[in-house]
Structure 1
Amino acid sequence: MMNLDESKLSHRYTERNGVRLHYVEAGEGPLVVLLHGFPEFWYSWRHQIPALVAAGFRVIAPDMRGYNLSDKPAGISAYTMEELTADIAALIRASGEARAAAVVGHDWGGGIAWGFAMHYPQLLDKLVILNAPHPERLLRAFGTARQLRKSWYMFFFQLPKLPELLIQRNDFELPRSFFKKDMQRPDAVSEDDLARYLEAWRQPGAFTAAINYYRAIFLPSSLRAAHNPPRVDTPTLVIWGEQDSVLGSELATPDPAAAPNVRVTYLPDAGHFVHYDRPEKVNEHLLAFLQQP
């Protein structure tokens, strides 16, 4: 496993509609955009950035709006899929590239990556998803008792203020324990890694912004869009850790009518944070897909 040399990263900013977005950049070559999930920031890709750079790619890994060093606009409507995907389009344009060779997303970043492929297909060549269901697939799964038991927190997050209060108790004991709980590899997240996440979580408004991602998906406009999403024709690789405690493995494969060009790779010894648990395997599958003509 390659270690991240942060001295080789450039920290940059771009702005869209008054929201300043922070991202790290490294390498030269075809552009790959890495989108982190909840409750993370660009550092979640610490195992993938050096592998991609060594393979000849240019990497951009943003702090999504609301996270870490990016701005945290107020209000739920600032975190709709329309706003989040437009941020990614702005990042690609700010890079000076006409399009990305690939957009890669995990968890919420995966949901945004799906949405980006739906609404900006002209801006990417390939799509890679890590443990994030196609939105139409997730919406249907809410009709099953099994997934409702796993997804209880999404509904809890709809409450005002209380989720933030519970998450911040005892210096973020709940998200710290979640990181540890879902890992199949005991050393997947070190104490130094947790210190980095805590630094990001302690920033004013950070967890309200992160939870607003979940609140925004239940806005009427978001629910209508999820019922009839545009088809994704982009070549897509889904990498799925089967020991995911919050998303059932049956969610990995989208309806072929919604995304007909999808290949799914299951990793039976990985959980929700598949790129932490099995970084070498994830990098192997990711690079093979990206280097495929």
Structure 2
Amino acid sequence: MEVKARGLTFEVAEQGPADGAPVLLLHGFPQDRREFDPLLPRLHAAGLRTYAMDQRGYSPGARPSGAQAYRIGEAVADVLGVLDALGLESVHLVGHDWGAQVGWLVAGKHPERVRTLTAISVPHPRALLLALRVRPTQRARFAYFPVFRSAGAERLLLGADAFVLRRMLAPIGDRARLYVEAMREPGRLTTALHWYRAFRSTDIADLGEITVPTTYVWSDRDGVVGLTAALRTADWVRGDYQLVAMRGVSHWVPEQAPRELGDAVLARIGV
């Protein structure tokens, strides 16, 4: 369905039992709400109502021009606006990659709107900043970040029949084609990359401890986030907290390990 909020129109897939506790799912780059499709049947079977949202830059009706429109604070405000439009006072929040980053900020700055948080792949932003400062290996893992911010990122990712994009998504097999084809849509890749171009560390520097019940899901073959950031996330969660470490799984957890992720999400929600 289409949800109007903040002068934009977001595409949101609403599924599951009508009377179920609400779960909002936020995707990352370069995917969209479909990355949660392998997970959803498990959540619905547990009686949960799910809302998988295409974030700004991905929903065709939510693509403002200019990189500054994609500051992370705008995405946080989008979540609040969509919740208001849906009439949801609070939700269980599940986010992957950039969606996890947004989830940490929503939970930290607006805890009254979040019943539980399950953050996948991306740790508490302050733990990640620490790891980037003290671990050269973590800085090396983030070597892609300035590349994605560059003016040539679109050509790099889609050139040679999207070789780089396909290589990135290789661990999820045939599902990669869903996102490669979507990124061929005019303008979509540019607005998705604007999330990187607009980001500033000051956007997350004031985020404090998380008080809502939280699970962080990290995988040992994640090429983006190392062990230090994963372990130090515990320093920034004052609510009930669990670190779920997955072995043999890459960054693309929702599609590569939906059963194990489902276990973690349901355990956190308590159903």
Determine if the TM-score, normalized by the shorter chain, exceeds 0.5: yes
Query: Which AA in structure 2 matches 1:197?
Result: Y
Number of aligned positions between the proteins: 267
Query: Which AA in structure 2 matches 1:18?
Result: G
Q: Equivalences for 1:88-167 in 2 at 5 Å?
A: 88-100=79-91, 102-143=92-133, 144-159=135-150, 161-167=151-157
Instruction: Measure the CA separation in 2 of the matches of 1:280 and 1:255.
Output: 24
Match of residue 266 from structure 1: 245
Asked if 1:226 is matched to 2:226, the reply is no
Compute the RMSD of aligned alpha carbons. Answer: 1.6
* 1:25 Cα offset (Å): 0.8
TM-score, normalising length: structure 1:
0.86
Match of residue 285 from structure 1: 264
2:231 partner SS: coil
Query: Which AA in structure 2 matches 1:199?
Result: E
**Which moves more between the two structures, 121-130 or 257-266?**
257-266
* 1:70 Cα offset (Å): 4.6
Instruction: Measure the CA separation in 1 of the matches of 2:198 and 2:129.
Output: 14
Q: Is the contact between residue 80 and residue 217 of structure 1 (CA under 8 Å) also seen in structure 2?
A: yes
TM-score, normalising length: structure 2:
0.93
Match of residue 176 from structure 1: 166
Q: Equivalences for 1:40-51 in 2 at 5 Å?
A: 40-51=31-42
User: Residues 70 and 41 of structure 1: is their aligned pair in 2 closer, same or farther, counting only changes over 3 Å?
Assistant: farther
Query: Which AA in structure 1 matches 2:258?
Result: P
Q: Is the contact between residue 64 and residue 70 of structure 1 (CA under 8 Å) also seen in structure 2?
A: no
1:21 to 4, 7, 10: 10
Instruction: Measure the CA separation in 2 of the matches of 1:44 and 1:189.
Output: 13
Q: Is the contact between residue 9 and residue 59 of structure 2 (CA under 8 Å) also seen in structure 1?
A: no
Query: Which AA in structure 1 matches 2:6?
Result: N
* 1:68 Cα offset (Å): 5.0
* 1:178 Cα offset (Å): 0.6
Match of residue 214 from structure 1: 196
Match of residue 5 from structure 1: none
Identity fraction in percent: 29
Query: Which AA in structure 1 matches 2:44?
Result: V
**Which moves more between the two structures, 74-83 or 31-40?**
74-83
Asked if 1:202 is matched to 2:191, the reply is no
Q: Is the contact between residue 27 and residue 53 of structure 1 (CA under 8 Å) also seen in structure 2?
A: yes
Deviation by residue 1:39-78 (Cα, 9 ceiling, x = unmatched): 0001000111111111101100011110154522111221
* 1:171 Cα offset (Å): 2.9
Match of residue 189 from structure 1: 173
Asked if 1:241 is matched to 2:241, the reply is no
Query: Which AA in structure 1 matches 2:243?
Result: V
1:59 partner SS: strand
Q: Is the contact between residue 241 and residue 273 of structure 1 (CA under 8 Å) also seen in structure 2?
A: no
Greater fraction of residues in helix: 2
Stretches of structure 1 that go unaligned for 5 or more consecutive residues are 1-11
Instruction: Measure the CA separation in 2 of the matches of 1:91 and 1:270.
Output: 32
Query: Which AA in structure 1 matches 2:100?
Result: G
* 1:256 Cα offset (Å): 4.5
Instruction: Measure the CA separation in 1 of the matches of 2:176 and 2:207.
Output: 36
